[in-house]
Amino acid sequence: MQTIFSLTNDRTRGAFDRLSNFRSNQRQSRMDDAVNQTGKTWLSKNTGMAGIVGRPLGSAIRRGRMAQQHGITGLGGATYSAGLQKLREARVQEALKDDMGRAAGDDDANALALREGMTSSEFIRQYQANTGRSADQARMALRTLETGYGAKIGSDAMRVAAFKARAMSNTGYDSTGNYQQISEDAASLVSSGLISTQDAAAAIKANQKRGDLNAIGFSSWMGHIDRSVDRYRQGARGAALVTGDESAQLRTEALQGITPGLLSAGRHETVRALAPQMVSNLNDTFEHVDADGNVVGTDDIAMGRELAKIAGRYDAMAQSNPLNAEIMANEVLSHTLGRASQDERFHKRNADGSFAVDENGKRQVMSVREMIDYYGRQNPDFLTMRREYSTQAGYREGNRADYELAG
């Protein structure tokens, strides 16, 4: 009899050990379901009286094992949710590290995977529609995501991993500089309790190549995300979630926080995102009526600084990054400011000193590049200021002077 039991419990063939391993795997699987929030719990499939008793019992057992294995305590309130969120965060970070960029590099897949309520069939349908790829390719993208992140599509862990991967991708979010999509994604996850505001801000700022995201201060991101969450819960989406003034404020802070060297070395999406704000900041130095109806006079000192900043950024790019320099030339230097038409200094002149006009007899206005050349001829200090703004130390000093001037 002892021999029989010994054979039965043999570690390579024994039924007892196989049953024990099966139960251990089942417990771990249910623990993963609890972390990923896929809806499965102990006894959760029971119905009737068994379900009435089983579901609470299963929930209690699950929390006991969570406390035993991961130190997550609480009967379900904020303490338990925070602990579960922290554990999920750690697992997501580990999964993204192990993924080695395979799933994280598919922006289209991550954009779909972080949506609430996403299913396998809907993912395949939308992935095909968005990318023009085949059903087999869509299924492969889905398998790559689930394998790489160790989570099922539609689960909380999948949504968090997809958001972090998209935020870290150089091309994950567009370069329009309106911050609407990234704000909506962050607000969706924070509103659902899947990540904290702090985690969302950290994920966005971790992208070192996107200065339009990284150069914005941590506290500014947290305040912006909190406002977005409040609006998201009230039903706001897209343009209603982030106003134009708020986007401009974020872009301006990014410009103040990024040096010409970092802007030059960064992704071209950053230059495209921030180029409109460079033009807008320069345009605001001219006489205009502000949002409150007050007339603001032309600020020649601020105008000189903005022109020097633009020139310094371009100089840094021209030396090291031709693509960014080309974008800067096309989207900033070639631009003609609307308010410059009100200032005769920036009207083009012919060789004889008369004003240059177009075929309709309207005076021609200088481009930003021509304004820079004009300032260089008129102000001997401008060239020095331009060189200073092309260096990291000089740029920081210039921003400090701007802050003191504004204050």
Give pLDDT tens digits for 356-406.
999 999 999 999 999 999 988 888 888 888 888 877 544 554 454 454 444
> Percent helix, strand, coil in the chain (nearest 5)?
70, 0, 30
Quick one: average pLDDT of 162-176?
Answer: 90
Q: Provide the token pair at 338.
A: 């609307």
Q: What is the pLDDT of residue 64?
A: 53
Please give the Cα distance from 200 to 182 (Å, whole number). Answer: 10
pTM to 2 decimal places: 0.71
Instruction: Tell me the percentage of the chain whose pLDDT exceeds 70.
Output: 71
Residues 148-151: contacts with CB under 8 Å, at least 24 apart: 148/95, 148/98, 148/99, 148/102, 148/103, 148/104, 149/92, 149/95, 149/96, 149/99, 149/103, 150/91, 150/95, 150/98, 151/36, 151/95
- Residues 67-81, buried b or exposed e (16+ Cβ, 10 A)? eeebebeeeeeeebe
User: pLDDT band for position 329 (50/70/90)?
Assistant: very high
- Check pLDDT > 60 for residue 8: no
Q: What is the pLDDT of residue 287?
A: 86
What does the mean pLDDT of the chain come to? 79
Query: Which range among 156-160, 258-262, 279-283 shows the weakest confidence by mean pLDDT?
Result: 258-262
Please give the Cα distance from 71 to 378 (Å, whole number). Answer: 69
Q: What is the pLDDT of residue 35?
A: 47
- Check pLDDT > 70 for residue 59: no
Query: Which range among 17-31, 101-115, 133-147 shows the weakest confidence by mean pLDDT?
Result: 17-31
Q: What is the DSSP letter of 258?
A: S
Q: What is the pLDDT of residue 81?
A: 58
Quick one: average pLDDT of 194-200?
Answer: 94
Q: Provide the token pair at 358.
A: 């177009």
Quick one: average pLDDT of 300-311?
Answer: 92
Give pLDDT tens digits for 171-180.
999 888 789 9
Contact yes or no for 189/200 (Cβ under 8 A): yes
The label of the residue with tokens 């481009």 reads 367
- Check pLDDT > 90 for residue 190: yes
Quick one: average pLDDT of 233-249?
Answer: 92
Q: What is the pLDDT of residue 85?
A: 53
User: pLDDT band for position 1 (50/70/90)?
Assistant: very low
Strands 288-289 and 295-296: antiparallel
Smallest CA-to-CA distance from 255 within 202, 216, 222 is with 216
Quick one: average pLDDT of 53-66?
Answer: 50
Quick one: average pLDDT of 21-26?
Answer: 49
